[in-house]
Each structure stands twice: as C-alpha cells, then as structure tokens.
Amino acid sequence: MDLTHILAFNLALAAAIASPGPAFLISVKTTLTAGRRAGLAVGAGLGLVAALWTLAALMGLEVIFTAFPWAYVAVKTIGALYLIYIAYGMWKAASAPLAPSEVKPARHAFVQGMMINLMNPKSVLFAAAVLVVIFPPNMTLAQTGLIFANHLVIELIFYSLLAFGMSTTTARTAYLRAKVYLDRVAAVVLGALGLRLLFGR
C-alpha cells in the first residue's frame, strides 16, 4: 500500500460522503435546528460508525453477510424502519416552530448519528467493494489501522466543516423561513431512502 492508494480511497470517500443520503441530511437538519455543538456531535457519530464499517469490511464482515443473508436482511430492515420513523417525525413536526425544548443535547445527537450509519449494512458492502478495487490484498494490521484512522479523520473534517457552515446566522435564518418546506422535502427523501433500503436488494 502506498500514497496513491490512500488518495484514491479518499476521492471515493469524499464522493460518497457528499452525496445527499441520510447521513448528510441528518447532519444538516441537526445543525440547523439544534446548533453547531449538536451538528458536530451528530457528525462525530456518523463518522465513527462509517469508519467502523470500513474496518469491518477490511476484517471480512461482508463474508458473514454473504454466508448468512438473514443477518444482512435483519440489519437492513431495522435500518429502513428507523429511517422511515425519523422521516415521519420530521414530517409531523415540520409546521411546528422551533422551541428550546426541541433542541437535542450533543449526546443524543451523537447517538442518533451512530444509529443512522449503524443501521445501514450497505455501508460495509460499499466499503468492501471500494477496498477490493483500491487496496492490495494481504495488508498488515498497521496498514488496516491506518485506513481506519484516515477514514475517520476525513469524515470528522467533512462533518465539522458542514456544521460550521450550516450553523451561521444566515443559514439558520434561511432555514427558519422555509422550515415547513425544507423539513417535508427532507422527510420525503429520508422516507424514500428507507423504502428503497427496505425493498431494494
């Protein structure tokens, strides 16, 4: 393994993180509604589990999912239902004004970030596919640890920048003006992603 492998992995990782999936939407929504601290916390939860999925792929977890399809289906179903539950709550609260009681503590945001990525087993399959293409076989334990650490750092940098950018007064004011529409669009997207995860292969 050399620097070109790491650079190729980081490019693929950046494209995956920036795609408008559940993790991205939850990060933006949390920062806008609960502030920068919660945004940083949810990003830390998202990043930690995403990096752990990569580590799991490096350790061969996708083989377990292949050997025991029921395990993959079980995790995928729970994850899909969790996304649909979040989408329902977001839609229901879209027309309600923000109140101090709605602001979630950083600890809760961190756990929610972990749950979003923990309940998405496709992450480990995606990671496995990318890792097989990019990295050479039979890597050492130190190299595996380096890939995990690199992934975690990239995730934390991205979500930290997103939290700082979306926690500005301008961003929050714009969100509050269009809260009903933005929340319902986000709810539809999350619900659709949950249904796709539930009924897709």
| Cα-only R_g, the chain | 18
Q: Please check the confidence at residue 104 and state whether its pLDDT lies above 70.
A: no
d(CA 28, CA 35): 10
Structure tokens at 169: 């007064």
Higher pLDDT, 14 or 157: 157
Tell whether the model's pLDDT for residue 3 goes beyond 50: yes
Q: Is the pLDDT of residue 100 over 70?
A: no
The whole-number average pLDDT for the span 106-125 is: 81
Distance (Å, whole) CA 152 – CA 16: 14
At 143-187, the pLDDT tens digits run 889 999 999 999 999 999 999 988 888 887 887 788 888 888 888
Find out whether 40 and 163 touch, Cβ atoms under 8 Å. Answer: yes
Comparison of pLDDT for 99 and 82, the residue scoring more: 82
Between residues 39 and 80, the one the model is more confident about: 39
Residue 101 confidence (pLDDT):
42
Q: What is the mean pLDDT of the chain?
A: 81
Residue with tokens 């650490």: 149
Determine the pLDDT at residue 18. Answer: 73
- Note the pLDDT of residue 157: 95
Q: What is the pLDDT of residues 15-45, one digit of tens each?
A: 777 776 788 888 888 888 888 899 999 999 9
Q: What is the mean pLDDT of residues 106-129?
A: 79
Per the structure block, which two tokens stand in for 2?
């050399």
Higher per-residue pLDDT: 12 or 158: 158
Residue type, 8: A
In the numeric block, the tokens 């097989």 are attached to 132
What is the percent of the chain where pLDDT is above 90? 18
pLDDT confidence of residue 201: 62
Q: What is the 3-class SS of the chain, one letter each residue?
A: CCHHHHHHHHHHHHHHHHCCCHHHHHHHHHHHHHCHHHHHHHHHHHHHHHHHHHHHHHCCHHHHHHHCHHHHHHHHHHHHHHHHHHHHHHHHCCCCCCCHHHCCCHHHHHHHHHHHHHCCCHHHHHHHHHHHHHCCCCCCHHHHHHHHHHHHHHHHHHHHHHHHHHCCHHHHHHHHHCHHHHHHHHHHHHHHHHHHHHHCC
pLDDT at 14: 82
Q: Which of 200, 197, 175 minimizes the C-alpha distance to 185?
A: 175
The Cα–Cα gap between 113 and 105 comes to 13
